[in-house]
């Protein structure tokens, strides 16, 4: 039986790390809407060209185009066989309904919807203290992971910097947008009984253990 998951969580919560662990250990295909957009645009497919037109005008890519791109990926064989973990889609209730329809046509349903939850203060602390190496990309933290010499990377001596995305005002705005857009979608899945809330304040392995323990429970219920 393949497992089909959707991941939700605020910025900096490590959704990418969880998707990578689920891929390594359960062979689930990580599907991120951002990656799919990039691939379609690079390959200059009809969908990619359509998306480009909106992006160039600074407009949001319409639901129809986004949904069609996701549907195309979800219908591919590797995804059918081994399942998937979705990140960045669905972003709206309309998209969540469309996802249900796509899967229904394939005789599938979602196994679980995972919401990795971390209080805003914790997200702010994690992100606002981050410094990245300009040369090798290693990430440091002002309180939790200091470099040995101030402002310099331990690995390559490169200078460290704070990303524009990690400025406190930007983080607060990203969190506000996250809550505003995600909460209605979370409610949608709460009503359908698929939602699993996971505590994301500990390490990646602890978060992973919570995600998987519930999955095993669900899978044994089914079999
Ligand atoms: Zn470095």
Structural domain count of the chain: 2
In a domain, 174, yes or no: no
For residues 15 and 103, state if they share a domain. Answer: yes
Residue 96 reports pLDDT greater than 80: yes
Residue 1 reports pLDDT greater than 70: no
Options 49, 53, 155, 163, the catalytic residue: 163
For residues 62 and 162, state if they share a domain. Answer: no
For residues 112 and 204, state if they share a domain. Answer: yes
For residue range 99-142, what is the model confidence (pLDDT) as tens digits?
Answer: 999 999 998 899 999 999 999 999 999 888 999 999 999 999 99
**Spacing, Cα 17 to ligand 1 middle (Å):** 20
Mean pLDDT of 23-30: 94
For residues 125 and 110, state if they share a domain. Answer: no
For residues 114 and 161, state if they share a domain. Answer: no
Listed residues: CB within 5 A of ion ligand 1: 133, 135-136, 138, 153, 155-156, 158
pLDDT band at 223; cut points 50, 70, 90: very low
**Spacing, Cα 163 to ligand 1 middle (Å):** 15
For residues 103 and 135, state if they share a domain. Answer: no
Residue 221 reports pLDDT greater than 60: no
With b for 16 or more beta-carbon neighbours within 10 A and e for fewer, the 92-116 pattern comes to beebbebbbebeeeeebebbbbbbb
Active-site residue, 75 included:
no
**Spacing, Cα 147 to ligand 1 middle (Å):** 10
Domain at 65, CATH number: 3.40.50.300
Residue 5 reports pLDDT greater than 50: yes
Distance of CA 113 to CAs 32, 90, 173, 184, 185, Å? 15, 11, 25, 14, 10
For residues 53 and 96, state if they share a domain. Answer: yes
Options 91, 94, 142, 197, the catalytic residue: 91
In a domain, 13, yes or no: yes
Q: What residues make up the domain containing 143? A: 119-166
In a domain, 175, yes or no: no
State the average pLDDT for the chain: 91
Distance of CA 47 to CAs 7, 33, 50, 89, Å? 25, 13, 5, 17
């Amino acid at each position: 039986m393949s497992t089909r998951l959707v991941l939700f969580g605020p910025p900096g919560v490590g959704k990418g790390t969880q998707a990578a662990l689920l891929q390594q250990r359960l062979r689930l295909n990580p599907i991120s809407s951002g990656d799919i957009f990039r691939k379609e645009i690079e390959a200059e497919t009809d969908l990619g060209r359509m998306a480009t037109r909106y992006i160039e005008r600074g407009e949001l890519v319409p639901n129809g185009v986004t949904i069609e791109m996701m549907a195309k990926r979800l219908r591919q064989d590797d995804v059918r066989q081994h399942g998937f973990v979705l990140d960045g889609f669905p972003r709206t209730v309309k998209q969540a309904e469309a996802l249900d329809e796509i899967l229904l046509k394939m005789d599938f349903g979602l196994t679980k919807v995972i919401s990795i939850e971390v209080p805003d203060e914790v997200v702010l602390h994690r992100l606002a203290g981050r410094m990245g190496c300009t040369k090798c990309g290693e990430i440091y933290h002002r309180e939790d992971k200091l470099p040995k010499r101030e402002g310099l990377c331990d690995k390559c001596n490169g200078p460290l910097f704070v990303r524009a995305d990690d400025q406190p005002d930007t983080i607060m705005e990203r969190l506000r947008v996250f809550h505003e857009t995600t909460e209605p979608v979370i409610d949608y899945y709460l009503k359908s009984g698929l939602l699993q809330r996971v505590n994301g304040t500990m390490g990646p392995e602890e978060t992973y253990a919570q995600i998987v323990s519930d999955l095993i429970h669900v899978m044994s219920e089914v079999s």
